[in-house]
Amino acid sequence: MAAIESVLKENRVFEPSEDFKAHANVSGMEGYNALCEKANQDYEGFWGELAQELITWKKPFTQVLDESRAPFYKWFADGVLNISYNSIDRHLADKANKTAIIYEKDDGSSENITYQELYERVCRFANGLKSLGVQKGDRVVIYMPMVPDAVVAMQACARIGAIHSVVFGGFSSGAVKDRVQDAAAKVIITANESVRGGKSTPLKATVDEALKDGECSSVEKVVVFKRTEADVPFTEGRDIWWNDLIANQAAECEPEWVDAEHPLFILYTSGSTGKPKGVQHSTGGYLLGAIVSMKWVFDYKPDDIFWCTADVGWITGHTYITYGPLAVGATQVVFEGVPTYPDAGRFWQAIEKHKVTTFYTAPTAIRSLIKLGADLPKQSDLSSLRLLGTVGEPINPEAWMWYYEVVGGSRCPIVDTWWQTETGSNMIAPLPGAVAIKPGSCTLPLPGIMVDVVDESGAAVDKSNGGFLVISRPFPSLLRTIWNDDERFKSTYFPGALGGHLYLAGDSAHRDEKGYVWIMGRIDDVLNVSGHRLGTMEIESALVANPLVAEAAVVGKPHDVKGEAVVAFVILKGDRPEGEDAKRIAQELKTWVAHEIGKIAQPDDIRFGDNLPKTRSGKIMRRLLRTLAKGEEITTDTSTLENPQVLEQLKQSV
């Protein structure tokens, strides 16, 4: 195999400040190295000790790791716990009146919910679910807006041992139907409508559409949360209002104590075949990953105000809204709206209003805010911030620098976190009081996470080359299987070609001389140009480094001579250019990329649009871009796109 070549040149390094280091949960490289050494010396002892220290067990475990059915690993299997108890109950003795959730509503008003209030809400709803016949092991699909009640619903399921499967509130009825069918869900929890950016979107109507043909025969009840005053049709005997369900329920509910391997949730992620994969997570191992990363990566302190801007429909919202912050007893912001409503300064105003200390968002959001200018963040007091984070995709160095300088005032470390739905929690990220940060690199694996970069046979590549990112030892928060599809789990994540024991992440990466990991893009997105394998991320970073460019996405299309040609979809900071203007700028950008990273990476085709095709969660739909690049007709469902109108623009070559 030709090695995947790294062409990105990034030499800036930012050391942790002495002040941050002095107060950090893991201080200095000596602190980081000591933890790594401990994990290397006694891997099971390392994780076992953390699980004993950080989790409240009803019955302690006696075995840390069971590898007897690899890759179906078990962690702390004979231990008994409840994750809702660990998230709420155990804090009541000393934090009953502490704010658990600051609910920042779409309209800009806010509401505080204490740990005691959260406990009562969760218990009432858990009792309500039990009254509907929901039992341990039953599946419940949650299709909700970003309101605290979505967290309540998830915690209530976990409290009674039901397995939740959250479907992002922007998905279509077809996506809901597929997931309900695959999970054989007994109950669906939804809302009449969601509210985002001042606009209402019907959710109950979408659920009705998903259920109308009777193919979801497992569904017995639909619980409807009233987010707006909109009236919705009800199916007699099936549908029930949330408030009616909880009206006479007790504010206490004994947790269902489950073993550590009991499935906590199924979260569907897109598969290369088109059929979504039901990623199944356990209770104990997943919880440990969430707590450890809150303490190490986010350097959690009791007076922090934590804000993760994700939606609970994605893994980031599961781990860093519903479970992680609550499990450590944090106060967090739950944000319903969009970053630009009622105006483009919304994020920064909310940080000032709630005195947010830790802000965790996606590069896509950062890049869209860059486009709006550096003066907006400066209009708000962001001095409460002490730590910034990014998640979801690699962040290009220029966006990183903007985030660091403009938002963080050059004083807040940035934790660029690499992880996946499948890993459950952060895997590679700088511990902010220990690890020097480099723009664009997720830096070093967390202690206890054994990362390697290998070629197609599973052999380690040398540092100068890229390859496949793998994790060589099982870890607690790893998915346990794909729901109802063990074979697909094995072939997807532990392929025989790599020996059957390496977890294949699906990303290409390389390591620099310091061992820092640089994500180069999805393996699917690796381009092969004239025998050179190039990661798309690096070409995108070069384009975005040009002062004219706000955002870029790169894909390949077949080429008779080169094998693949580079096609770049570019969004400028100004208006979309046309005619001669477009040709001139396209040529400028081609020359720029050639200068930045070499002629080999120069785009053959540049196309301009007002935006990139994104899902409502902000994810770039690269599959559609590949179809457009080839000049093929789009035949797949585009209903989950935020902005389908840009597809026409992006068909046009300059």
Report pLDDT digits (tens) over 186-221: 999 999 999 999 999 999 999 999 999 999 999 999
- Per-residue model confidence (pLDDT) at position 3: 58
Cα 139 to Cα 129, 183, 189, 212, 574, distances in angstroms: 11, 7, 11, 20, 48
Instruction: Give the burial class of 548: count Cβ atoms within 10 A of its Cβ; 0-12 exposed, 13-18 middle, 19 or more buried.
Output: middle
As a whole number of Å, the end-to-end CA separation of the chain is 34
Q: What is the mean pLDDT of residues 441-457?
A: 95
Q: Is 636 buried (19+), middle (13-18) or exposed (0-12) by CB count in 10 A?
A: exposed
pLDDT band at 11 (very low <50, low <70, confident <90, very high): confident
pLDDT computed for residue 9 by the predictor: 64
Report whether pLDDT(402) > 60: yes
Q: What is the mean pLDDT of residues 312-334?
A: 97
The label of the residue with tokens 């970053």 reads 339
CA–CA gap between residue 492 and residue 421 (Å, rounded): 14
- Bridge partners for 391 per DSSP: none
At residue 297, the pLDDT reads: 98
In angstroms, rounded to a whole number, what is the distance separating the alpha carbons of residues 352 and 42? 44
Q: How many of the other CB atoms lie within 10 Å of CB of 254?
A: 11
- State whether residue 420 is helix, strand or coil: coil
Identify the weakest region by mean pLDDT among 272-276, 330-334, 375-379, 462-466.
272-276
Fill in the amino acid letter for 157. Answer: C
Residue 100 and residue 97: Cα distance in Å, rounded?
9
Q: CA-CA distance, 126 to 132, in Å (whole number)?
A: 10
Strand 193-196 with 199-202, pairing: antiparallel
The average pLDDT across 68-81 equals 97
164, β-bridge pairs: 140, 265
User: Is the peptide bond preceding residue 71 cis, with omega within 30 degrees of 0?
Assistant: yes
Average pLDDT, the chain: 93
The residue whose two tokens read 């043909």 is: 213
Cβ proximity of 436 and 13 under 8 Å:
yes
pLDDT band at 273 (very low <50, low <70, confident <90, very high): very low
- Distance from C-alpha of 384 to C-alpha of 374, rounded to nearest angstrom: 18
What average pLDDT score do residues 384-409 get? 93
Q: Which residues contact 91 (CB under 8 A, 6 or more apart)?
A: 98, 115, 329
Give the dihedral sign, CA 333/335/341/347: positive
> Quick one: pLDDT band at residue 5, thresholds 50, 70, 90?
low
Burial group, residue 180, by CB count within 10 angstroms (0-12, 13-18, 19+) = buried
pLDDT band at 286 (very low <50, low <70, confident <90, very high): very high
Q: What is the mean pLDDT of residues 460-485?
A: 93
CA dihedral sign, ordered 153, 190, 275, 337: negative
Mean pLDDT across the stretch 157-182? 92
| Phi, psi at 238, each rounded to 5° | -105, -45
Q: Is 558 helix (H, G, I), strand (E, B) or coil?
A: strand
DSSP H or E segment with residue 522: strand 517-522
What Rg do the C-alpha atoms of the chain give, in angstroms?
A: 24
Residue type, 523: I
Residue 274 has a pLDDT of 52
Q: What percent of the chain has pLDDT over 70?
A: 97
pTM of the model: 0.88
Q: pLDDT: is 615 or 418 the higher one?
A: 418
The whole-number pLDDT of residue 223 equals 98
Q: What element of type H or E holds 331?
A: strand 331-335
3 state DSSP class of 493: helix
Quick one: pLDDT band at residue 51, thresholds 50, 70, 90?
Answer: very high
Of 286, 327, 292, which is closest to residue 151 (Cα–Cα)?
327
